[in-house]
Amino acid sequence: MKRILYLGCLLAFSLVFIGSVSATELSYNEISDTSQIIADQASKTGQIPSQITVNNKNITLDD
């Protein structure tokens, strides 16, 4: 059940990141990497990170 919850959160936040960042700024692989970082952090700490750096690009929840 926790796994489904984490995956649901991961999907929701991925959609937030995709919706607020244009396709020219992040590649598919960068979005995929970001999703994995979010999932790893959520499973370890139970919290979603407020900022992630992927390929020298800072991604925040505000973006």
Beta bridge partners of 59: 52
Distance (Å, whole) CA 50 – CA 32: 17
Instruction: Write down the H helix ranges in the chain.
Output: 2-20, 28-45
pTM exceeds cut of 0.85: no
State the average pLDDT for the chain.
77
- What's the Rg (C-alpha) of the chain? 11
Q: Which residue has the higher pLDDT, 24 or 5?
A: 5
Please, which residues have CB within 8 angstroms of residue 25's CB and are 6 or more apart in sequence? 57
- Tens-digit pLDDT profile for residues 19-48: 555 434 788 888 888 888 888 988 999 988
